[in-house]
Structures are given as structure tokens and as C-alpha cells.
Structure 1
Amino acid sequence: MAHPVTVQPAPMIPTAFSIPRPGTWSTELCDCCSDVGICVCGTFIPCILACKVAQDYGECCCLPCLPGTILAIRTGLRERRKIPGNVCGDWLIMTCCSCCALCQLARELKVQYSV
């Protein structure tokens, strides 16, 4: 006689990411190997990735056409997740490492909505 199932399987957590702790980014700024697809997209077609980031954040996908919106999204996401930092630091990162910062935002939003 078969035994009834009494335990439900646990949800699968992506192995490339860890569950983000409050107050930290789920991946580092230059952590390209954690999601190669996002890295390739952010390197070769960052405008498409910027539109996806805006859409995943809950904004219009055309919003990145306006200057400074990805900076505003980064600052908003950082404040929402209570990650230490300030607007000047966000601006510096977006100015000096824009592709890496955009990829980090995409990975953060992917982790946030997949867990």
C-alpha cells in the first residue's frame, strides 16, 4: 500500500544567486559570472537591458530614454532594500562603471522577483 505524501517539496532557489540579506546587494558590482546572459546583454546592448530594468522595477520601459533615470532606479532600489550608500556614490558608480552597474541592477531585480 502506498504512503500518502505528507511533505511538500521546497521551492527551488537559483544556484547562481543567494537570497539577498537586507542591507546588501545580492551580487557584487563586477560579478559578471553569476549571470552571463545579463552580462552579455549589458555589454553589447545596454539600451535593451536598461529598458528591461525599468520594466522590472515597475516603470515604463521607455523611461531609460530620459537622462538620469537608471541612476534614479538604482537609488530607489538601494533605498528600498535599505542598502547603505548615497546618491553621490550611485552617480559615481553609474558614471564610471555604467555597464557593470546596469548588470548589477538587472541581477538584483531578477533575484528579488525570483525568490
Structure 2
Amino acid sequence: MAYQTEVISSQPQVTVTSYTLSSGSSSEWSSNVCDCCEDCGICLCGTFLPCILGCKVAQDHGDSCCLPFLPGAFIALRTSIRNKYNIGGSICDDWIVMSCLPLCGLCQMAREQKMRG
């Protein structure tokens, strides 16, 4: 008795579709990080009462007032504000600004919210 084996090789076909979502072109910050004197009220609050300004920025963004007291939270807040307003940049840029110029970065976020709010 002879058996005949027929091997049928069928490889499944996979179709991969890639989508890129874009909501328009990215914009820029309305002011530079070192333009603190554009709004003297924000500048004075950021200089002498940064925790109060941090609480206001966090609350205006819809986050808890306790956010400024968490380590690294301002980096996340800056990234979130940048994404909300479709501002170009990266998390690395946000880290550099908030690590090297934290009060200037905080004032920039407050000015952005005031301008776009």
C-alpha cells in the first residue's frame, strides 16, 4: 500500500494599512520662553509666588492645584499644554525648558493660556 502525500503550502496574506492623523499644521508658542516682561502680572507672580502661578496654570488646564508639588509634573503639564494647542516641539524640549528655566517656562505656559483662553 502506497500513500501519496501532497503538501499544500499556503501562507496567509497580511495587509497592513498605515494611517497618519493630522489635525493641521503645528503652531508656535505665542511668546518666547524668555519674554517674561510681556505680561508684568504673570512675571511678578512667577517670580515671587511661583506655587500660586503653578496652581493657576494647572487648574486652568483642568488639572489639580496640587500638580505643582509633584516632581516632574511641570514637564508633563507643559507637554500637555503644547499638545492641546498643537504647538510644535518635543518632550525633550519641554524637559530642557522646565529643567533649565523653570520659572520662565511656567510664565510662558501662563501667557499661552491667557492668550488662547
Q: TM > 0.5 between the two?
A: yes
Q: How much has 1:92 moved relative to structure 2? A: 0.6
Q: How much has 1:107 moved relative to structure 2? A: 0.5
From 90, 100, 117, the counterpart of 1:96: 100
Please state if 1:81 is matched with 2:71.
no
1:57 corresponds to which letter in structure 2? H
Please state if 1:56 is matched with 2:60.
yes
What's the TM-score once normalised by structure 1's chain length? 0.75
- State the Cα deviation string for residues 58-110 of structure 1 (Å, max 9, x = none): 11111211111111110011112221111111001100000100000001111
For residues 89 and 77 of structure 1, the distance between their equivalents in structure 2, rounded to whole angstroms, comes to 13
Give me the CA root mean square deviation.
Answer: 1.5
Aligned partner of 1:37 in structure 2 is 41
2:92 corresponds to which letter in structure 1? C
For residues 111 and 84 of structure 1, the distance between their equivalents in structure 2, rounded to whole angstroms, comes to 17
The runs of 4+ residues in structure 1 deviating greater than 4 Å are: none
Q: How much has 1:33 moved relative to structure 2? A: 2.0
1:110 corresponds to which letter in structure 2? K
What's the TM-score once normalised by structure 2's chain length? 0.74
For residues 101 and 68 of structure 2, the distance between their equivalents in structure 1, rounded to whole angstroms, comes to 17
Percent identity of paired positions between Structure 1 and Structure 2: 55
